[in-house]
Amino acid sequence: MRYKTWESYFYPETYNPATGQGTLRNLYGERDAKALARMEYGDTSARAYDLVHGQVRLPRTYDAAHIRAIHGYLFQDVYEWAGQYRGVNISKNVSTFADVHAGQVDRYLNDVHRLVTGTEWASLDHEEFSRASAEVFAYLNQAHPFREGNGRTSKVFMEHVAELSRFTLDFSRVSPEVWNQASMLSGPDLGRYEPVPDSLVPVFRVIAQPRATGPSNRSTGMGRSAVRASYPQVTTEVTRRSSGATQQRPSRRPCRGQGSRGVER
């Protein structure tokens, strides 16, 4: 694996050892981090639309392969490691995510699969759906499998889960501050493995909206809200922690073919 150290994810000439920040290596060859963010947003927005509107169909296996396929599709224009697990451990604010070297990423994603496939989603009422979704997302968030793009990948995955139910998800109904704080608070208590999804339940109560046609084998249209509501936050290397409207497909530049601190989007 090429990306085994924090620094290896960045262009050397952009990397600042004092801050652990720089511009992630990308398929555009873009060295400016702000320009990269704009280009990435455009391409991933268009691909997210494809996924949630059924223009591209991924197998709904609800396991690690499913999650990696989502990330691989969303970021195939941006990073050569799209769909691949991160090679470094990361943290965000006070949250430390799964230890990739100890196999915790796969363990958490196995838990996600168990929770999704073990739930009778079509029979859940609004409160039950909110609680079940919060638990699934808490485990997925704790896995944080990728160096970049966990937020967008997780939200598309949760929309795929919602297809099994009588509800859709509108992530634009919560603010960035509320979403990020609830996600942060869902992490495991010190020394424990299990996430604590309680803080996420009220969030899913708000974003869960009745589906007009009941359970579906295809998402009915929250794709742009999922991308718009993927809120940037600074991601740091774990060893260097810092103290319903009609929608149109977003435009995308032509595909350009098929990088630990940074901005997690």
Number of domains composing the chain: 1
- The answer to whether position 123 is within a domain reads yes
For residue 237, what are the β-bridge partners?
90
The tens place of each residue's pLDDT in the chain, 265 residues long, gives 589 899 999 999 999 999 999 999 999 999 999 999 999 999 999 999 998 888 899 999 999 999 999 999 999 999 999 999 999 999 887 789 999 999 999 999 999 999 999 999 999 999 999 999 999 999 999 999 999 999 999 999 999 999 999 999 999 999 989 999 999 999 999 999 999 999 999 999 999 999 987 666 544 334 445 544 454 444 555 544 333 333 444 555 443 333 333 334 3
Question: Packing angle between helix 33-52 and helix 64-74, nearest 10 degrees?
Answer: 120
- The answer to whether position 255 is within a domain reads no
> Tell me, what CATH number does 166's domain have?
1.10.3290.10
- The answer to whether position 3 is within a domain reads no
Report the candidate in 239, 192, 231, 242 with the shortest Cα–Cα distance to residue 90: 239
The predicted structure's pLDDT at residue 53: 83
- The answer to whether position 240 is within a domain reads yes
The C-alpha atoms of residue 36 and residue 9 are separated, in whole angstroms, by: 14
- The answer to whether position 250 is within a domain reads no
- The answer to whether position 1 is within a domain reads no
Tell me how far CA of residue 138 lies from CA of 102, 121, 179, in angstroms.
19, 17, 12
The predicted structure's pLDDT at residue 265: 38
Report the candidate in 241, 227, 192 with the shortest Cα–Cα distance to residue 51: 227
The predicted structure's pLDDT at residue 54: 82
- The answer to whether position 252 is within a domain reads no
The predicted structure's pLDDT at residue 227: 46
- The answer to whether position 195 is within a domain reads yes
Q: What is the pLDDT of residues 224-235, one digit of tens each?
A: 455 444 544 445
Token pair in block for residue 248: 């149109």
The predicted structure's pLDDT at residue 203: 98
The C-alpha atoms of residue 265 and residue 262 are separated, in whole angstroms, by: 9
Domain range holding 57? 10-244+260-264
